[in-house]
Structures are given as C-alpha cells and as structure tokens.
A and B are shown apart, each in its own frame.
Chain A
C-alpha cells in the first residue's frame, strides 16, 4: 500500500487504543498500586444548609488502621479551585468550615490504611448541625427573602444583568411566549472522580494521577494552591473512564494533595457512585422565559430572553454558562435582528453546577428550537418552512451575529434538506396523518431541530520526533478520555510521513512528557490539537527534506515523502532514504529530527446540523418511546468517520435522555432523591433506538484541517428535536409545550388537560426582581443603583 497524503485521513481507521482496553488493561486511577498508599474517605453533610456546631472525631481517630481524621479546623486546606469564578468572594473551602451548603458537602476526611477501614471510621465521626432554611428552586433564590448562602455577599443573586435591545419585539405582528425548564442533570461518567497523589518520588514534590481533562491546567492550579513550583508537580491523566465536562480538580482532590504533602505518604481517593451523584458538579439547570416576535409571513423580528441560571452551592462555575455559551448562541441559525438577553444567576443549596456535554449550547438550542416550533403552530406554518425562511445564508459567512459570535462557515439549508431526505420527512407526516385519522392509540411525533453551536478556539501545542529506529513520536497538549485522539492524530501524522499508523507512537496527558497543553474540553481537540500535529509534522518533514537534499545532493524542491516510509528524489525510486536513516543522520549532525510547535491562536468554529426525531406516544399512558433518530451533523472536514459517528451516537443518547428521562431532583428541603443509578433515569440499550447518522462537510476556514468539533453537537441537536417530537405528537390536541423530561406523567397530564380543556398557559411572567437588574453598558452610577436594588 502506498501511503502519503490522504492514505489515512478521512478513513474509518480502527482504534489503536482498543486492544489494551478490551483486554482489561486500562490504567484507570483505581487500578494504580503504590507502596504504602493510604485511602481517603469523606464524611459529607446530610443536610442542605446548616451551621456546624461541633465535630467529634475522637472515636474515629481511635479506630484500627486510621492514620488521621481532619476537618477544616484541624489543618489549613487551600480553597477548592473554581474553573471559572462567578463572583469574587464566593469562595468554596475544600472542606466545609462553619457551615454546609448542600447535601454531599464534604466536612471531614478520614485517612486510613484501607478503604474499608476509612469507611468504618467515617461512620464514627459525630457532627452536630444546626439546620438553616434551604433554597432549592433557582427562581426562589432570586427573592431577597431566600435564606442567604454567602452572608458577606448578602444575596443569593451572584450576577444580575440585562443586555441587548430595549424593545426587541417592536414591529412584530405575532409574539409567541414560553417558559421553559432546562432541567438539572447528572454527568454520570462510568468512572467517578479519582485521584492518587504520591509525594515520595525523587523527581517531583508531588506526582498526581488524576481522572481529568486538562492535566497541564490542573498542574498550574494545584501548584499555586499548594505553593509549589509548577515544575515540581507532575500531573498524569491515565485512562479516564469518561468525563463529559465533569472531571477537573475537585475539592476532594485538593484535600488529597494537601494530605499527601502533610503526611509524606501516597494517598488515594476514589469516589463511590453515590458520592459521585451528589459531589460531581451537575449540568444544565436554567429556567428560560422566551418571547419571539414574527411577521405574519414568518419573518422573525426579535427575541427577548429572560433567563435564570442555577449555580448550585458555592457559585458553581456552570452557573455562568447561561451568560456565556447560552447567550452567545441565542440567535442560532436564524436572522433575528433584535435580541434582548437578561440573566439572573443564583446560588442554591444543591450540588454545585458545572459543565456537561454541550455546556450552555444545548440550553440555547433547546429554547430557540422550542419557541420556533411554537411559532410555527401559532402561524399555522410547517416547522420546516418557518425555519427555512429565516436561515442565515451560506454566502453571508464569515458573519458576526447580533450576539457577537464570529460564525466561521455554514450551510444550514443543505443540512436540513439532508435530514428531511434521510428521514423521509414527508412519508413520516403522511404516517402521522393516517394514525390521527384512524384514531390510533399510538401517536406519532416528528420533531425537528436545526442548530449551530460553538467549539474550540485558542491555541495548542504539539511535538513530533523521528527516532533513529524510524519510529515517530507524536505528542499533543490535548488530553483524550475516550475520544480516540491516539488514532486520529496518528492518522494525521502518518499521512505527512507516508508511514503506517503502527509507526506512530502517541503521547498525551502527562505534564512530564508533554511540555504544555490546553487539554480537552469544548470539543476543541481535533481542530486545535489535530492542527498542531499537522503543522508540527509538516515542519519536521520540511527539515527532513532539506537534510535529504543535502545527503543526496539534490535540489530541496525535488525531494518528496515517497509514501513507502522513505524520503527521496521525486520519480527516482533508487534515490531515497528511510526515515530511520534520515533520523540517524540528523542525530549525527547534532540536531535530532524533533520539533516543538505552538499553533497561532485560532477562532472558534461553529458546527451545525439538523435532526429529525421520531417518537411514539401512548395516548393512554403518556409513555414516550424514541423509535428513530436521524442526525445530520456538519463538523467540517472529517479525520475519522468511525470516531465522528461514535461521538454522535453518545451525544444523541445524552440528548434523548435529557428530553425524555434524566432529571436530578431534590425535595423541598434540598434532599437529593435521584442520587443512585437505581433512581436516576440514565438509559440502557433497551430504551434507545439505533440511530441514522449523516454528515454534510462544510470546511472551517479558521484551521488547517478545516475541522470543527463533534463531541457535543449531537447533544445540542437531539435534545430539542426529541422534545419537539413529543409536543408534535400531541399538537393536534392543542398541546403547545411539555417541559423536559417528557415523562409519562407529564405527557399523560397534557393529553388529559387537552381533552378536558384545562391546558395550562405555557407562559407566565418571570419574577419581578429580574426587571431591576442593571443594564450592561450602563454608567457606574446606574450599575451601583441596580446592584443595590437587588441587594447584590
């Protein structure tokens, strides 16, 4: 086989990662054995909001095998790091100090010789709590009367801000309005959080084995918190059992690192699932008040959004996504000339909020695609035609949106046409009409969603070296946790060197072996890490060509990569030398064939697509079964279609699950009631259908590969498509909205209400506090007045 440009890129190459994982040779943190390693177990608050009156750990300290028991008063732990800070002063201590703020808040840590002994001793710790009132509902937290979490701030509102157009609905013939709940969900990576910290190594003060996405960033954060030199800390992300935005340096991780230093012994903490469900930050969590103004002919004239974002306890960074990714993507794929976007971000006595697959973009697509469907109903237009009429057109790119996003490229109509074609949309509508005409019990729902989202942006590092034996080491600063970078990046490099995939060794996720890197998150890896690998490989090839030209006494421009593992004179097979020989010569001349390279900063890319979801609704019981899902996702140029479809499949499962099943729930006192996998409705294979996937390929102009992110797109597209399908199944009954998750009870209730004429209005006004938020761009004085008015 002749290799070289295009031999591997674009092909469904099977993963190089798989054999080890399939043989049970995964290196997940809990599999690591270090001599003398101690185990941590945390005593967590069983109360959502309380002051800590006293802690008695004397019995626990006396238990066999216990090395130490610590609360915040026993040892000065650094604060828990925040990925993004919502508000100065909203600090989270690593262990709760004088009060607890959610069920699951860690209060005491037990260090013992084994996990069982640590758990036994934790049972013996006595903590006396004085309950305070809890605020669980994010809209209740807007009220100045809600029990305050941060006395120093004096309000549960962390950010209150109005922005954009003053009168976005002016000139509309029709305004449709909806209040939508984008419910809190749990991330549920199959492996929970896990960390092992070794302070005994010779080369580093601390070696940290951490299930995470961004080892280099975490090295910087952790060394800062512990006042160590960054180069004295090594962070390794071994095999990571999924993350989906969830796994970073946690409060518990900081405690583990501090204790390892304090005790001078390796320590390990591996979260149980029951801990994970309440301790790992949750995702989503918005209440969205949305009004869309249109002309009678369907032309959109303006959008008004008033959004409440739940940050959970300690101002979890996920709370800010409503003001970040949700806001910037509010316009979606449409021309909407005027947009107003007001937000209130609050703390509640619930698990802190973080990122979960999509992180702000699914929330944007969900409200926009929902309100567009409501508008189609109101105007009696086909939802396809209403969307088509308002699409941003391909020739308009690059485009700066009303929200300030720099859309790179897109062709929304082509994706929509493809989704309609592969789903036989017209045939589905015919089938729906027939079922309705027959009065079938099983109703058919057809849901449409057109989306655009935002991925990547920034720079990335790569290093490529050709060794004397001809092997090529490729390193990148991204950090895969299931995505398959070792395969995709090897494809990119192998094409440049004209060698088999097996000749590429891939290294990642270790700060001692990869000089720097941005890690993996926001679907950035192929477009940034892949581009870094491509550019660095090209730099190595250029150096090799110069060297070979010199050796063979030929003109550099005549030298080519031959495609059979050599470099030589174009068209003269006898005048070629192998990569091993090139590398040896380079080494002999004192300049090994190795290049480190950082890409220039690149803009974000904007993947897009169109999904058609098909559901069956049992009109007697309200049960919804997703029967088919057609996903057209455009992620620009594809490096490996096998991996891309794998990302789409996983994203679809997450999106369908949010639309139909998953919701993390609390009772009124803040007690979690879905905190095990027996109660939390994560789907199995039995609940999901097979998927039909397709791709249009609109290259991105902002990176050399032309690639866009694909890790989260299918979640963005599928969530509203499925929700719209459920409502569509009932639209002939007059149902206009059902909140997610569309549980049998909610669906049955909507059918029942429709039959007896008691359907609730999908709209009500948001709480009055939101009107008093200061306006973005207002004068200092106005901002101050506004701040006072909401007691900020």
Chain B
C-alpha cells in the first residue's frame, strides 16, 4: 500500500491506496466523488477529466499514487453546492450542451481548462481543444457554442465584444 496526501476540491485527504489504484477510482470509490465518470479503458473518451494542479488530465491515465501532493479539482468542486453554477456550467445549460450528461463533467472540466490555457479561441481551436472528450448525444454543436459563449464573455473570441 502507498500513503498519499492530496487536496481535492479544497479538502485535504490522506489515504493508503493500492499501488495499482487509478486516480479516477480513488476519486470515485475512496472519496465517493462519483461526479467523475468512467467511459472507456483506453484513455480515449475523456469522461474522467479532472484538473490536476490546474491542468486537465484524464484521471484514468494516472495512478492515485502519482497524484501524491497534488491539488485536484473535480466537477463537484466547480461551484458551491447551494450556490450558482460556474460560468461554464451555466453556458452548458443555456446552450443545451448536454443530453444524457455522462460525458458532461469531463467535458466541462476540459472546457474550463481550455479557457484558462488559451488567450484566444475560435470555433476551430475549441473543436481541437476538446478533441480528447467524446460525446454521443450532442454532435458537439452546442458544446462548441457553449464554450465559445464563455470565451466571448471573457473577450477571448477575435472580433467579439467582451
């Protein structure tokens, strides 16, 4: 067993974990944070995307042990439980960017990361930036619109008024 210390959504945790335990399993099974979903076993779908030290990672590609010492943010940590939605969540709602909701937590976290990482976004760069996250319901059309709406809010879309 390996002892790890992580901060998840602002709360410190110390746990003994099996060396082979994936980060996503640690989040879901040990911490009970089931908002992060598992959609594949080849790191292809992105449903399990979380932020690790501020950057989006697929939490099925990391061992929990590798996350030792890291700050992690999951979908549950994006907006206060009783408070308003995060602007990206709100844009997803406003633009009907989710249907079954299974890819949504990962997609939202990937979008949050993309909006932080880039200075400017266009439809093309949003599409490429979300390439690692699969959705079967929306055809991505409204997801792209939602992210572009957030980008426009922040003045990141060339030609848009912030």
Instruction: Name the CB-closest residue of A to B47.
Output: A190
**A685: chain B residues within 8 A (beta carbon):** 126-128, 130-131, 133, 135, 140, 143-144
The distance from the CB of B49 to the nearest CB of chain A, in whole angstroms, is 12
Contact pattern, A 239-250, Cβ under 8 Å of B = 1, otherwise 0: 111101000000
Check if B75 sits within 8 Å of A23, measured CB to CB.
Answer: yes
Pick the contact of B74: A24, A30, A651 (CB < 8 A).
Answer: A24
Within 8 A of A (CB), among B121-153: 123, 126-128, 130-144
The distance from the CB of A362 to the nearest CB of chain B, in whole angstroms, is 15
Beyond A646-B99, A650-B136, A685-B144, whether A24 also contacts B76 by CB under 8 A is: yes
Instruction: Name the CB-closest residue of B to A688.
Output: B140
**Is A157 interfacial (CB-CB < 8 Å)?**
no
The distance from the CB of A460 to the nearest CB of chain B, in whole angstroms, is 21
Pick the contact of A242: B28, B102, B126 (CB < 8 A).
Answer: B102
Cα of A650 to Cα of B28 in the assembled complex, Å:
29
**B42: chain A residues within 8 A (beta carbon):** 273-274, 676-678
**Is A15 interfacial (CB-CB < 8 Å)?**
yes
The distance from the CB of B111 to the nearest CB of chain A, in whole angstroms, is 11
Within 8 A of B (CB), among A227-260: 239-242, 244
**Is B36 interfacial (CB-CB < 8 Å)?**
yes
**A391: chain B residues within 8 A (beta carbon):** none
**B47: chain A residues within 8 A (beta carbon):** 190
**Is A482 interfacial (CB-CB < 8 Å)?**
yes
Check if B142 sits within 8 Å of A684, measured CB to CB.
Answer: no
Pick the contact of A652: B20, B93, B131, B139 (CB < 8 A).
Answer: B139
Check if B35 sits within 8 Å of A15, measured CB to CB.
Answer: no
**B137: chain A residues within 8 A (beta carbon):** 190, 242, 482, 646, 650
Within 8 A of A (CB), among B28-82: 28, 32-42, 44-45, 47, 74-76, 78-79, 81
The distance from the CB of A650 to the nearest CB of chain B, in whole angstroms, is 5
Pick the contact of B35: A14, A26, A33 (CB < 8 A).
Answer: A26
Beyond A241-B101, A650-B137, A688-B140, whether A22 also contacts B85 by CB under 8 A is: yes
**B75: chain A residues within 8 A (beta carbon):** 22-24
Check if A22 sits within 8 Å of B100, measured CB to CB.
Answer: no
Within 8 A of B (CB), among A686-711: 686, 688, 690-691
Q: Which of B18, B34, B135, B137 has its CB near the most chain A CB atoms (within 10 A)?
A: B137
**B28: chain A residues within 8 A (beta carbon):** 30-31
Instruction: Name the CB-closest residue of A to B143.
Output: A685
Cα of A272 to Cα of B131 in the assembled complex, Å:
22
Check if B139 sits within 8 Å of A650, measured CB to CB.
Answer: yes
Pick the contact of B100: A24, A242, A273 (CB < 8 A).
Answer: A242
Check if A686 sits within 8 Å of B131, measured CB to CB.
Answer: yes
**Is A191 interfacial (CB-CB < 8 Å)?**
yes
**A25: chain B residues within 8 A (beta carbon):** 35
Check if B34 sits within 8 Å of A190, measured CB to CB.
Answer: no
Check if B130 sits within 8 Å of A684, measured CB to CB.
Answer: yes
Beyond A24-B34, A676-B41, whether A239 also contacts B140 by CB under 8 A is: no
**A190: chain B residues within 8 A (beta carbon):** 37, 39, 45, 47, 100, 102-103, 134-137
Check if A677 sits within 8 Å of B134, measured CB to CB.
Answer: yes
Check if A484 sits within 8 Å of B105, measured CB to CB.
Answer: no
**B44: chain A residues within 8 A (beta carbon):** 273, 676-678
Contact pattern, A 206-225, Cβ under 8 Å of B = 1, otherwise 0: 00000000000000000000
Check if A241 sits within 8 Å of B100, measured CB to CB.
Answer: yes
Cα of A676 to Cα of B138 in the assembled complex, Å:
21
Check if A646 sits within 8 Å of B142, measured CB to CB.
Answer: yes
Instruction: Name the CB-closest residue of A to B90.
Output: A22
Beyond A273-B42, A649-B142, A676-B44, whether A189 also contacts B93 by CB under 8 A is: no
**Is B108 interfacial (CB-CB < 8 Å)?**
yes
Pick the contact of A19: B34, B40, B93, B131 (CB < 8 A).
Answer: B93
**Is A17 interfacial (CB-CB < 8 Å)?**
yes
Check if B40 sits within 8 Å of A273, measured CB to CB.
Answer: yes
**Is B154 interfacial (CB-CB < 8 Å)?**
no
Check if A690 sits within 8 Å of B37, measured CB to CB.
Answer: no
**B38: chain A residues within 8 A (beta carbon):** 30
The distance from the CB of A234 to the nearest CB of chain B, in whole angstroms, is 22
Q: Which of A21, A483, A682 has its CB near the most chain B CB atoms (within 10 A)?
A: A21
**Is A174 interfacial (CB-CB < 8 Å)?**
no
Check if A18 sits within 8 Å of B92, measured CB to CB.
Answer: yes
**B140: chain A residues within 8 A (beta carbon):** 649, 653, 684-685, 688
Check if B45 sits within 8 Å of A191, measured CB to CB.
Answer: no
**Is A643 interfacial (CB-CB < 8 Å)?**
yes
Cα of A31 to Cα of B130 in the assembled complex, Å:
25
**A188: chain B residues within 8 A (beta carbon):** 136
Instruction: Name the CB-closest residue of A to B93.
Output: A18
Check if B98 sits within 8 Å of A21, measured CB to CB.
Answer: yes
Cα of A15 to Cα of B89 in the assembled complex, Å:
13
Check if A273 sits within 8 Å of B39, measured CB to CB.
Answer: yes
The distance from the CB of B101 to the nearest CB of chain A, in whole angstroms, is 3
**B103: chain A residues within 8 A (beta carbon):** 190
Instruction: Name the CB-closest residue of A to B125.
Output: A686
Contact pattern, A 627-671, Cβ under 8 Å of B = 1, otherwise 0: 000000000000000110110011111100000000000000000
Cα of A584 to Cα of B8 in the assembled complex, Å:
48
The distance from the CB of B118 to the nearest CB of chain A, in whole angstroms, is 15
Check if B96 sits within 8 Å of A31, measured CB to CB.
Answer: no
Within 8 A of B (CB), among A22-54: 22-26, 28, 30-31, 33
**Is B16 interfacial (CB-CB < 8 Å)?**
no
**A645: chain B residues within 8 A (beta carbon):** 96
Check if A642 sits within 8 Å of B131, measured CB to CB.
Answer: no
Pick the contact of A17: B101, B102, B132 (CB < 8 A).
Answer: B101
Cα of A418 to Cα of B47 in the assembled complex, Å:
38
**Is B119 interfacial (CB-CB < 8 Å)?**
no
Q: Which 6 A-B pairs have the closest CB atoms?
A: A24-B35, A241-B102, A482-B100, A21-B101, A653-B139, A677-B44
A-B contact pairs, 7 of them (CB 8 A): A14-B94, A23-B85, A191-B37, A239-B101, A242-B99, A649-B141, A676-B40
In the complex, besides A190-B136, A272-B41, A654-B139, 5 extra interface pairs with C-beta distance below 8 angstroms are A190-B45, A483-B99, A649-B141, A677-B40, A688-B127
